[in-house]
Each structure stands twice: as structure tokens, then as C-alpha cells.
A = this chain, B = another copy of it.
Amino acid sequence: MNNLIEKIKGSETIVITSHYSPDGDSIGSSTALYHALRSLNKEVYIIIDDVLPQNLKFLYNEVTINKSDDIKLQNYILVSLDCGDKSRLCCSQSIKENAESIINIDHHASNDSFGNINYVDSKASSTCELIYNIICAIDENLIDKKIGKCLYTGLITDTGNFMYSNATPSSFVMASNLINIGIDKQNIIENIYQSNPLNLVKLIGEVIGTLNVLEERIAYIQVTKEIMNKYNVDFNDIDGIVNYARDIFGVEVGILFKEKSPNEIKVSFRSKSYVNVNEIAGKFRGGGHKRASGCTINMSLNDAKEVVLRETIKYI
């Protein structure tokens, strides 16, 4: 980490970017690092060429986030956060190419160390935990309530509020320290977990009606295009519904079937303890992790359900 810190200290202009489809950890780590570097009197830019999620406004309304075309840059280093693959960086090609140096900070196991300097730790809960370590190593006193709020957000969004197995002892110690600093934890919780769109909640109620259990171990829910239209809910906002299927007593695998269009069915898999759903998704040219995976099937909703359930039964 020392050469990383030396590089940052020795640079005047620092550009921060992250992956497409920004989330709590990418925005949280970007804004936290932004505030810390501003305290060190650096010229700092965050570039995200994508739509920013509404529920993270409480973080990004305290900084300026630019698009690649907004600014003219020269003599800068590029800090890539939470992004395992250079091609998924959410900035223009020229910003990547013209950087004097790229610092790659990430916790994805798939990260191929594409930076000139790499700080990649796949055991870390979140990129925010790595940024916390870096800022502490620079100067512990830099971490104030504003930075703490950003870091706590990434920590909880990437660990399911400490529910997932990636929440390690150090994640809990970090949380403890941030609360000691005086962050308004309840306000963060309200923004992240207690601000569901009414229409989404109504949609959830209706689609739970489609919940079915197969062989006592597989539970599945379907969401048709028609229902998404009825409630005006975006296709990308309904992934969490798969948890209602998984979190039933005795169920090992939860599956969500989402009808993106009449012959394009997105399937999300979640398992609890022993089924490797990465393998099941792999049978349909999808992938992911052992406990969370997905695939796309170009069939009707009913046909997709049939082939996927037939395959899943083999694993329970």
C-alpha cells in the first residue's frame, strides 16, 4: 500500500472512476476518496458516464460528479475503484489512455490487476473497506463524518447490512469506528433500506402470489413484463425479489424469472448452504457465484421455467 500512498501524495490531479451501473460501494468509495483527497488539497474529479441511482443522492449531492466530456484533463493519475475489468470502467477511452498512471483498488476476485499500481483484496467486504484502510494509513484524522457516511454506505450495501459471509471481523471493527466518529447511521439506513418506491412494494405483493415450491427445496417467483408495466417498475429494480423465494423454511434454492421481453427471460438464482448455483446458471451460459448467479434464456416464460426447474432439481 505504501507505493500507492506515495503515488497519490505525489500527484496534483487525481481522477476517480468506477464501474458501469454504479452502486453503493462504487459511489461510496468514490465520494469518500474524493473528500479525503480534497482535504489534502488535491485537484480531484469523479467521472461516472452512467445514470446515478436515486437512493444514493445523499452521498453524491455533496460532490460534483462529471461526465467524461465535461472536463479537459492533463497530467493526472486515474484511480479505478471497485472495478475488476478495465473495459468496464465508466469513463471514456481517452481518459483511460491519457492517464499518467492507473491505480486499481478493488475487492473482486476476478480483478486482473490492470493498474500500474494494484491494491486488490478479494477477502475485503467492499472497496469501501479498502479505501478506509488507505485513508487510515495516510492519516486517521482525515476520516470525518462526511467520509464516514460514504464508507459506511458501501460497507452495508456490499454486505447486505452484515448479513452476507463477506462481512468479516475487520468489517465490524470498521463499522464500530465509523459510528464512534459520529456518523448518522440511522439516516444511512433510512436512505438505503427504508426508501422503497411504493410501486415496487405493491408489485412485490402481487408477484408473491406466483410463489411456488417444488420438491420442498426449490422456490420460485415470476415477474411478467405486463406486471412491470402495470406498476411502472424498472426491470433492474426487482432483483431483490428472489430473496423472498430463498428465505423460506426448508428451501435451499430460490429462483426469480423475469420476463424482459416475450422471448428473453432473465433468471436469478440464490442458494442457502450447499447448492452451487453458479453451476446451474453455467448450464444456460450464465454465471456468478456459488450462492448467487444468473442467466438469460431465449424462450417463452413457461418454457424457460420448465427447463430451468428440470435442471435445478438435479442439484437438490
Contacts and interface: CB of A to CB of B under 8 A. Distances in A.
A299 interface: no
Contacts of A187: 273
Interface stretch (A60-68, A85-93, A194-202): A194-202
B205 A209 contact: yes
Contact of A165 (B165, B186, B202, B272): B186
Contacts of A247: 193-196, 201
A4 interface: no
A278 B196 CA distance: 24
A124 B219 CA distance: 38
* Secondary structure type dominating chain A contacts: helix
Contact of A172 (B175, B194, B195, B207): B175
Contact of A208 (B193, B205, B219): B205
Nearest to A189: B163
B176 A170 contact: yes
A213 interface: yes
Nearest to A247: B194
Contacts of A244: 201
Contact of A169 (B170, B180, B202, B211): B180
Number of copies: 2
Contact of A209 (B169, B206, B249, B250): B206
Interface in A154-207: 161-163, 165, 167-173, 175-177, 179-180, 185-187, 189-190, 193-198, 201-202, 204-207
A246 interface: yes
A248 interface: yes
Given A202-B211, A244-B201, A172 B176 contact: yes
B169 A179 contact: yes
A54 B170 CA distance: 32
Contacts of A171: 176
B190 A179 contact: no
Contacts of A195: 247-250
B176 A169 contact: yes
Interface in A19-52: none
A162 B165 contact: no
Given A205-B206, A205-B209, A248-B201, A165 B193 contact: no
Contacts of A213: 198
18 contacts: A163-B189, A167-B185, A168-B179, A172-B173, A172-B179, A187-B273, A190-B273, A194-B246, A196-B248, A196-B249, A198-B249, A201-B244, A202-B208, A205-B208, A205-B209, A206-B208, A206-B209, A208-B208
Given A172-B172, A194-B272, A196-B247, 17 more contacts: A161-B161, A161-B163, A162-B175, A165-B185, A194-B246, A194-B247, A196-B249, A197-B248, A198-B248, A201-B211, A201-B248, A202-B211, A204-B205, A204-B208, A205-B205, A205-B206, A205-B209
